[in-house]
């Protein structure tokens, strides 16, 4: 994956994406909590795909933004379809594209429901479902795009994290009230935060089974409760070791102290 140098003539959407690239995969230490959280979540998701999905098969990256999941997957031998509502980002992903097979399909994912029925061996949706007014319909849509035996990988903030104060989807009597504010970027666009129990229920409603849920990023690796002030001074090996330690805590504790969820959902043959 190429790392293009910043260009003042870029469109504003590219400039914003480049700022996030610097935090997520670049050398910026401006917000180390954000960087660690992204690195850990991305690592879990990419490793899960590599473990469960054969190379050479078709993968859809929903709302793939600047391609930081699309491009590594293509380089690793997957045939990837990049999708995002923001069609102007496709050219930025092309600029970063170095090798591997990538197809570009910008647009509303729901508009592809029939065209892509049972097309993909795997679908990846990272940090999207919490921005959707109807996460149940979203999972049904993505499940319909999977071949029998396919995998859906979802990353989303963990609703059981002790700092979460957003509602559960199942507690909302009229999700359509949020349709006018859905798809907004960043954390201020979060509508619902799902916990493990609700992820399993929504998956079952979509005809999927949750085969694995990984909870990740503790308050230190997130930089929360003022622990972010320590991160610039702590060796990365220590931060990652502490993250690995909290992964071994009892389930109830893990659900309360980890901010992120990576769910692997399987469609029956």
pTM of this structure: 0.95
Residue 27 domain flag: yes
Residue 6 domain flag: no
Residue 197 domain flag: yes
Looking at the chain, the whole-number percentage of residues with pLDDT higher than 90 is 87
Residue 201 domain flag: yes
* Residue 43 pLDDT grade (very low, low, confident, very high; cuts 50, 70, 90): very high
Q: Residue 257 belongs to a domain with what CATH number? A: 3.40.50.150
Q: Which residue has the higher pLDDT, 166 or 124?
A: 124
The pLDDT value given to residue 173: 84
| Counted domains in the chain | 1
The pLDDT value given to residue 28: 84
Q: Which of 233, 232, 260 is nearest to 246 (CA)?
A: 260
On the question of pLDDT at 188 being above 80, the answer is no
Residue 92 domain flag: yes
pLDDT-wise least confident of 83-87, 140-144, 182-186: 182-186
pLDDT digits (tens, 9 = 90+) for 143-183: 999 999 999 999 999 999 999 888 888 888 888 888 888 88
Residue 4 domain flag: no
On the question of pLDDT at 250 being above 80, the answer is yes
Continuous H helices in the chain? 12-24, 32-52, 70-75, 89-96, 135-145, 196-205, 219-222, 236-246, 251-257
Beta-ladder partners of 187: none
On the question of pLDDT at 186 being above 90, the answer is no
Q: Compute the distance between CA of residue 214 and CA of residue 255 in angstroms, rounded to an integer.
A: 10
* Residue 17 pLDDT grade (very low, low, confident, very high; cuts 50, 70, 90): very high
pLDDT digits (tens, 9 = 90+) for 204-219: 999 999 999 999 999 9
Burial (Cβ within 10 Å: 0-12, 13-18, ≥19) of residue 59:
buried
Residues 6+ apart with CB under 8 A from 248: none
The pLDDT value given to residue 29: 85
- Residues spanned by the domain of 87: 12-266
The pLDDT value given to residue 58: 98
Q: Compute the distance between CA of residue 205 and CA of residue 126 in angstroms, rounded to an integer.
A: 20
> What's the distance, CA 58 to chain centroid?
18
Are residues 260 and 235 in contact, defined by beta-carbon separation less than 8 angstroms? Answer: no
Q: Compute the distance between CA of residue 165 and CA of residue 255 in angstroms, rounded to an integer.
A: 15
**Average pLDDT score, the chain:** 95
Task: Work out whether strand 79-82 and strand 146-157 pair parallel, antiparallel, or are unpaired.
Answer: unpaired
Are residues 225 and 239 in contact, defined by beta-carbon separation less than 8 angstroms? Answer: no
For residues 107-117, give the mean pLDDT. 96
Tokens of 114: 């029939």
For residues 4-30, give the mean pLDDT. 93
The pLDDT value given to residue 104: 98
For residues 15-25, give the mean pLDDT. 94
Q: Which of 204, 196, 208, 207 is nearest to 168 (CA)?
A: 196
Residue 7 domain flag: no
On the question of pLDDT at 240 being above 90, the answer is yes
Q: Phi, psi at residue 183, to the nearest 5°?
A: 70, 10
Q: In what order do the strands lie in the sheet with 120-126?
A: 101-104, 79-82, 58-62, 120-126, 146-157, 260-266, 209-216
Residue 121 domain flag: yes
């Amino acid at each position: 994956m190429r790392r293009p140098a910043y260009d003042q003539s870029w469109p504003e959407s590219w400039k914003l994406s480049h700022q996030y690239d610097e935090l997520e995969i670049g050398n910026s230490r401006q917000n180390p909590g954000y960087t660690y959280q992204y690195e850990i979540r991305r690592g879990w998701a990419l490793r899960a795909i590599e473990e469960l999905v054969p190379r050479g098969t078709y993968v859809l990256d929903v709302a793939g933004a600047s391609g930081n999941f699309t491009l590594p997957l293509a380089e690793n031998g997957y045939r990837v379809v990049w999708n995002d509502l923001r069609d102007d980002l496709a050219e930025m992903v092309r600029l970063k594209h170095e090798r591997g097979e990538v197809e570009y399909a910008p647009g509303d994912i729901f508009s592809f429901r029939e065209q892509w029925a049972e097309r993909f061996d795997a679908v990846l949706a990272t940090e999207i479902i919490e921005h959707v007014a109807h996460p149940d319909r979203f999972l049904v849509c993505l499940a319909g795009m999977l071949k029998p035996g396919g995998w859906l990988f979802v990353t989303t903030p963990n609703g059981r994290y002790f700092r979460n104060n957003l509602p559960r989807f199942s507690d909302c009597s009229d999700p359509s009230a949020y349709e006018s504010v859905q798809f907004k970027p960043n954390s201020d666009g979060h509508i619902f935060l799902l916990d493990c129990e609700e992820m399993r229920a929504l998956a079952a409603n979509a005809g999927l089974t949750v085969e694995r849920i990984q909870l990740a990023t503790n308050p230190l690796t997130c930089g929360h409760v003022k622990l972010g002030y320590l991160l610039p001074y702590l060796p990365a090996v220590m931060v990652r070791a502490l993250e690995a330690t909290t992964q071994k805590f009892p389930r109830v504790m893990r659900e309360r102290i980890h901010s992120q969820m990576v769910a692997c959902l399987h469609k029956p043959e």
